[in-house]
A = this chain, B = another copy of it.
Amino acid sequence: MPLVSKNPFTDILRKAGYKATPSRLAVLSFMQKSKKPLSAQGIIERMDKNCDPVTVYRIIKNLALSGIIKQIDLRHNHAHYELVDQNDHHHLICTECGRMEDIAGCEIEEMHKTILRKTASFSEIQQHSLEFYGLCKGCALGSKPKEVLS
């Protein structure tokens, strides 16, 4: 009887048709631990095992294609990614310093049905992204804090 249960990401990966390689499991593990959306660079830097950046890029791309992770546009100069979880949440991003916080509990999913009823040319909505851009209190007051996100 194992003291530690097998990595649940193994099953998730296999179900999506991918092999459960150490690199993929490491990427998913990082994303789970991270409280913030991660950039490709952010993941690459945190990979303790020697893993080629190209591999990370490929992993991210595949995970996003299969809907295991989600791409997020924080208006930095590169994409960010987040594990897709049950509780749908969105982001509030400062356009000055990049500070970010989560917005919980939206009911956007309910709009999917309405939209599909109105459109003539789409048959399915898989995902949505909703981000709000504004000024955090620090930046509104004119101070210039450092970027808080890579």
Contacts and interface: CB of A to CB of B under 8 A. Distances in A.
Interface-central residue, A111, A122, A128, by most chain B CB under 10 Å: A122
Interface string A43-68: 00000000000000000000000000
For this complex, into which size category does the number of interface residues on chain A fall?
Answer: 35 or more
Interface string A75-108: 1000000000000000010110001010100101
Contact of A137 (B73, B123, B128, B134): B123
A149 interface: no
The complex is assembled from copies of this chain, and their number is: 2
Contacts of A137: 121-123
Contacts of A92: 115, 119, 122, 125
> Chain A: interface secondary structure?
strand
B133 A128 contact: yes
26 contacts: A92-B119, A92-B122, A94-B122, A101-B119, A106-B111, A111-B132, A112-B132, A115-B132, A121-B136, A121-B137, A122-B134, A122-B136, A122-B137, A123-B136, A123-B137, A124-B134, A124-B135, A124-B140, A125-B132, A125-B134, A126-B133, A126-B134, A127-B132, A128-B131, A129-B130, A129-B131
